[in-house]
């Protein structure tokens, strides 16, 4: 079994981006990070994004609207950022408070600054295999992780657990694309899937993104499969200072001995998501400045 080290691969991408940013003349790329409310996971994600941006030499602008902000006021804020020539990328950290529609908010972000890749136009471009758009960071990160770990999906059976717009659907579309590194046969499973273990056992590459702690167990996996664990679940653990431990959607102790390659949680897909956000920000800058 080989551990796929997301921290190491993300660090390589970050170093590549840092060199690219250092070579840019004039203004550095800027990402606006909009965080609404005090969700502790959102707080730590935004901090990590800010820190990584600084490490690469990107500027970040943190915007903290009140948790009670109306959709109309949030739209006005996004319109301002969309029109601001010094802002290249815009990210609205999810989850949003219940009174706001995530899909409507994602649609409001200009497609040219949509570094999260959730705007309708950019999701459509993934389906059309049009590389001028932005690919959502976690699915893009998974594809980079596979490519940089020497996993070619061509002709392989990829089984995706989960059909969210953020992970499951776009990663399935990416694996399906008719291009080098992809070109897989793809099965997507969800809560309505019957006999799920029979499908996961057929996977050459299993991508688990359902948000259920340690859901995938050894009996659900084909020996020699590549396992990508996207899940980030907080499981209560009184022995930890935080009171919880982080675990994925895969039961690592029983599945890892069977896998040919596997990502850990933490330290697998998570760091790639942040690295790909930075890559998208540089792409957005190049789009805005035509450089
Ligand atoms: P969502 O809750 O939006 O989607 C979960 C998906 O899993 C849904 O399609 C749901 O089915 C399916 N599902 C849930 N339970 C089951 C089950 N028992 N059997 C089969 N399918 C099931 O989650 P996200 O896609 O946003 O996130 C998934 C996980 O990935 C979470 O743990 C999240 O924290 C993590 N994540 C990690 C990131 C990273 O950077 N590493 C980034 C984004 C997410 P249905 O559609 O039928 O409801």
Show me where the domains of the chain are located.
25-113, 137-270
Mean pLDDT of 219-239: 97
DSSP state letter for 90: E
Distance between CA atoms of residues 107 and 120, nearest Å: 6
Q: Whose CA is nearest to atom 36 of ligand 1?
A: 231
Query: For domain 137-270, which architecture applies?
Result: 3-Layer(aba) Sandwich (3.40)
Instruction: Let me know if 116 is a catalytic residue.
Output: yes
**Domain 25-113 grouped into CATH 3.30.70.980:** no
Distance between CA atoms of residues 31 and 88, nearest Å: 6
Q: Whose CA is nearest to atom 39 of ligand 1?
A: 270
pLDDT band at 52 (very low <50, low <70, confident <90, very high): very high
Same fold, 25-113 and 137-270: yes
pLDDT on residue 20? 98
pLDDT on residue 241? 93
Among residues 88, 114, 116, 229, the one annotated as catalytic is 116
Q: Whose CA is nearest to atom 18 of ligand 1?
A: 191
Mean pLDDT of 270-279: 98
Mean pLDDT of 114-133: 97
| Pick from 188, 210, 208: nearest CA to 255 | 208
Distance between CA atoms of residues 284 and 287, nearest Å: 5
For 80-99, how does the pLDDT look when each residue is reduced to its tens digit (9 = 90+)? 999 999 999 999 999 999 99
Atom of ligand 1 nearest to the CA of 268: 41
| Centroid of ligand 1 to alpha carbon of 95 (angstroms) | 13
pLDDT on residue 94? 93
Tell me, using a 6 A CB cutoff, whether residue 199 lines ligand 1. no
pLDDT of 291 over the 90 cut: no
Tell me, using a 6 A CB cutoff, whether residue 233 lines ligand 1. yes
| Distances, alpha carbon 83 to alpha carbons 35, 76, 209, in Å | 19, 11, 35
Distance between CA atoms of residues 146 and 139, nearest Å: 11
Distance between CA atoms of residues 182 and 176, nearest Å: 6
Tell me, using a 6 A CB cutoff, whether residue 201 lines ligand 1. no
| Centroid of ligand 1 to alpha carbon of 116 (angstroms) | 17
Among residues 88, 93, 177, 261, the one annotated as catalytic is 93
Tell me, using a 6 A CB cutoff, whether residue 189 lines ligand 1. yes
pLDDT of 40 over the 90 cut: no
Mean pLDDT of 245-273: 98
For 160-204, how does the pLDDT look when each residue is reduced to its tens digit (9 = 90+)? 999 999 999 999 999 999 999 999 999 999 999 999 999 999 999
Mean pLDDT of 19-31: 96
């Amino acid at each position: 079994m080989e551990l796929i080290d997301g921290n190491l691969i993300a660090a390589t991408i970050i170093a590549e981006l840092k060199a690219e940013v250092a070579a840019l003349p004039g203004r550095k790329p800027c990402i606006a990070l909009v965080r609404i409310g005090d969700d502790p996971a959102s707080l730590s994600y935004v901090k990590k994004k800010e820190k990584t941006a600084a490490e690469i030499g990107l500027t970040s602008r943190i915007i903290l609207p009140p948790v009670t902000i109306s959709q109309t006021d949030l739209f006005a804020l996004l319109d301002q950022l969309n029109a601001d020539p010094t802002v290249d990328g815009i990210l609205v950290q999810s989850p949003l408070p219940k009174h706001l529609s995530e899909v409507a908010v994602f649609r409001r972000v200009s497609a040219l600054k949509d570094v999260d890749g959730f705007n309708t136009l950019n999701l459509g471009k993934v389906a059309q295999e049009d590389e001028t758009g932005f690919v959502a960071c976690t699915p893009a990160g998974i594809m980079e992780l596979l490519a940089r770990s020497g996993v070619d999906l061509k002709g392989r059976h990829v089984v995706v657990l989960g059909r969210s717009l953020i992970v499951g659907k776009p990663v399935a579309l990416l694996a399906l694309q008719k291009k080098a590194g992809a070109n897989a046969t793809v099965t997507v499973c969800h809560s309505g899937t019957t006999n799920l273990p029979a499908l996961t056992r057929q996977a050459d590459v299993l991508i688990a993104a359902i948000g259920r702690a340690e859901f995938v167990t050894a009996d659900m996996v084909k020996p020699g499969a590549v396992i990508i664990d996207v899940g980030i679940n907080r499981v209560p653990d009184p022995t930890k200072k935080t009171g919880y431990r982080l675990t994925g959607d895969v039961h690592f102790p029983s599945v890892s001995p069977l896998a040919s390659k596997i990502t850990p949680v933490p330290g697998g897909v998570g760091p790639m998501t942040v690295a790909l956000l930075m890559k998208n920000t540089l792409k957005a800058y190049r789009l805005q400045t035509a450089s």
